[in-house]
Amino acid sequence: MAKPPEPIEDVLPRATWIVDAEVTEVLKTGSAPPKAEAAPGATSTGQKTAAQTVKLKVKRVLKGQDVAELVVEKPEAGYALKAGNHGPFLIDSTKTILGRYGPDSYSFERIQKALAAS
Amino acid sequence: MPMRISDSKLASLYAAFERQQQSSAGFKLGREQALEILSMVGDRSGWSATKVLAELKKPGLSQDAQVALAAKGLSKSEKKDLEAILDQGTVKLDPGAKAFLEAVVGRTGGGGGGGGGVNGLSVTGDQKDGLTGVTKAGATIEAINITTAPGGRLHMDDTMVIGKADANGKFSMAKLTGDQAMREGDLIRMRARYADGTTSDWMTVKAKGIEAKDSRNAVVALFRIGLADTGSGKVSVENINASRQVSEPGAKLQFTNLRTNEKTQVTITDLGGFPDGFKLNGKAGDSFSVAATDGTNNSAFTTAVGNVTVPGGNPGGTDLIPDPALHRDELNADGTPKFGKKSYTGPLFIDGAKAGDVQQGQIGNCYFPAAMAALAQHHPDAVQNMIKDNGDGTYTVTFKQQDWATGGRYKDVQIKVDGDLYTRSWGGPLYGHSSNSSDPKKMELWFPLIEKAYAQWKGSYDSIGNGGHVSDVFEDCLGVSTSSMGLSYSSLDSVWSRITKNVDEKKAIGAGTYGEDQEAKYTNTGVYADHAYSVLGYEKAANGERYVLMRNPWGESEPAGNGPNDGVFKLKLQDFTKLYQTMYFVS
């Protein structure tokens, strides 16, 4: 996608959970989205990857109810998940992962600062 | 009062010089004649004048030793004689000879024998063949052209080594090169650096003998002129980067208030800036035309350098120039914009154009900020030259376009924009912005306005916000041919060779990651799929490991372990070729 992550101020209010977690399993992968129209070799084409359903092993909860495991949806986006991927996951009330790049959208430090300011 | 020389032999020698001057109008006392004079006054040690002269001319004798030898035999009356020659002499002295004699009588701190100006360093003759002079044996000569320096990003101490003194302390044909090449009338700031690391005092030479006339005026760095409304009808004027010059020392700048037509002149200080407390009559929103003179060129201030504007002015509260439409993602279903605009009035440049200024906004045009950051890194002057403040709340950006009517030569395409930028509800700019501030009065504007002009030129933010190529931007900004290199089938050595060549030659270079179907390999790497990056440089470690220095145009988000989260990081060459698909470069 190559747009920067959305401003965290826009995303944080929608996060029911913020967890430090690791993908343990990809349970399901949706169909591939249509190809973005772009010249060969171009960047920022907006190409998205298929939606996924993944299982997260939660190490730490920064916001939301305590939970040890979550099954969540990764929407069609500019990133894909596989087992072993880890980091901060912001998850909304429908158990969909927020942030344009999932666990690579925001650092823990930035999330904690934003939480402290909110 | 007529000059009086008490030493009879010296008086006789000086009379001979006077006769020589009468028969040859251009005659001056130079270094040879200075040594003859000293041989006459150095005989108190019991040596004959011939012996003293031979000693003074002895090969390998340092300038310090020459001065010491002459001073050793100097009586009070002889010293007065030398002072009379210096102060009341009827025969002209060239600067080198003058400085030499002054060192002998103790007017300078010594070590400056034979040449003109400061403790430890002197310059003789003209600069037709470069700088010639004397200092300590083996010293290197460092210099900077402070007439041209304001146009670049140089401090007054950012010298280059231009020569080395021989065993006698003499140096010659020392020349500045490139943008700093000396022209008639240029001011050259220089010093000597001795073998022990200490330096002489700074001295400034006004270049002469190079051309028939001085035709280069003082350069003015308009982007370093900071204006602020201080109330009561006054506008403060300061150098917003005091460590770099606004113009050459001694140059005069004339500010003309375009609203009132009042003209105010100021002389640039020895440090290249404005005198403390310098103010103009005016208010926020006023624009001033700036003209400069070095005392020779443009002395009537007839030619202006450009305009500067006092921030905070309201350019009429109306849209001066229709703005490019938003990207489709930022439009409501009925086509109305989701975001409003604000008028930005900050400086175009703070400290010149730098890669770190560039911050990609919420638009899919990573290729554009990645290219602009690479251009700022490798072609900062070209970036500074492509945008101009018109002084009326508008700016003109000049792009390049191939003109097939002239066989494919590049022609200028000038796009005019105003300072309005789309903003978020909480105030920050929506699209490209700068790292220094989001305050409309303070944000550095060159990048967001060049991006806005690019959108204007191409049709809208939507036209530039759905992917593209870094190399197209290089071409559109520089008017040069570009190339690309697929990394999956190129050898490490050929990739390394291309990177080092471009970086060393200061030619822009960028790289793009893989997109379709390969996104999964990027998660948790700190590098992002379908994304363009600037290549800032390279490093080779002591163990031979080769690294590529990269920058994410977001100005953040990078692989772990790369210091502050500013988007700048380095990758091993083999990792670079795995994570990146294509390299784009100015060829």
Any domain includes B577: yes
Gap between the Cα atoms of B265 and B280, Å rounded: 9
How many domains, in total, are found in chain B? 5
Q: Is residue B319 part of a domain?
A: no
Residue B531 falls within a domain, yes or no?
yes
Q: What is the CATH number of the domain that holds B581?
A: 3.90.70.10
Q: What sign for the dihedral angle of Cα B522, B523, B525, B526?
A: positive
Check whether B317 has a pLDDT greater than 60: no
Do B338 and B332 contact (CB within 8 A), yes or no? yes
Claim to verify: residue B39 and residue B170 sit in the same structural domain: no
**Residue keyed to tokens 């978020």:** B424
Same domain, B171 and B67: no
Which residue among B437, B469, B501 closes a domain?
B469
Domain A8-117 classification at class level: mainly beta
CA-atom Rg of chain B in angstroms: 30
Dump pLDDT digits (tens) for B247-297.
Answer: 998 899 999 988 888 899 999 988 889 988 899 998 877 888 899 999 889
**Does any domain span residue B496?**
yes
> Is B520 touching A (CB cutoff 8 A)?
yes
The reply to whether B51 falls in a domain is yes
Inter-chain residue contact B469 with A41, CB threshold 8 Å:
yes
Residue B117 has pLDDT above 60, yes or no: no
Q: Which residues of A touch B (CB under 8 A)?
A: 1-7, 9, 35-39, 41-47, 49, 78-82, 85-87, 101-104, 107
Q: List A97's β-bridge partners, or say none.
A: A91
User: pLDDT tens digits, residue range A38-94?
Assistant: 777 788 788 889 999 999 999 999 999 999 999 999 999 999 999 999 999 999 999
Statement to judge: residues B341 and B447 lie in one domain = yes
Cβ proximity of B64 and B136 under 8 Å:
yes
Side-chain-side CA neighbours of B568 within 13 Å: the count stands at 15
Q: Which two tokens stand for residue B70?
A: 């002459």
Residue B114 pLDDT exceeds 50: no
B207 and B268 in a single domain? The answer is no
Strand pairing of B358-359 and B387-389?
Answer: unpaired
Q: Which of B157, B181, B216 is the last residue of a domain?
A: B216
Q: How far is B358 from chain A (nearest CA, A)?
A: 13
- Let me know if residue B320 belongs to a domain: no
Is there a contact between B158 and B190 (Cβ–Cβ < 8 Å)?
Answer: no
Domain assignment present for B111: yes
Residue B404 CA, chain-centre distance (Å), reads 36
Q: What is the ipTM of this complex?
A: 0.93
The pLDDT, as a whole number, for residue B312 is 63
CA dihedral B162, B124, B69, B21 (to 10 degrees): 170
Closest CA to A53 of A22, A93, A96, A91: A96
Chain B residues in contact with A12 (beta carbon < 8 A): none
Mean predicted confidence (pLDDT) in B402-417: 89
Q: Do A9 and B529 touch (CB under 8 A)?
A: no
Contact B469 A39 (CB under 8 A): yes
Domain presence at residue B295: yes
| Residue range B191-249, pLDDT digits in tens | 899 888 888 878 888 888 898 888 889 999 887 888 887 877 888 898 877 778 899 98
φ and ψ of B416, to 5 deg: -105, 130
CA distance B48 to B484: 77
Are A2 and B530 inside 8 Å of each other by CB?
Answer: yes
Identify the residue with better confidence: B111 or A7: A7
Q: Do B362 and A3 touch (CB under 8 A)?
A: yes
- From A33's Cα to the closest Cα of chain B, the distance in A is 11
Contact B424 A7 (CB under 8 A): yes
Are residues B458 and B372 part of one domain?
A: yes
A1 vs B364, B428, B565: nearest CB: B364
Token representation of residue B63: 């300038």
- Domain endpoint, select from B417, B448, B469: B469
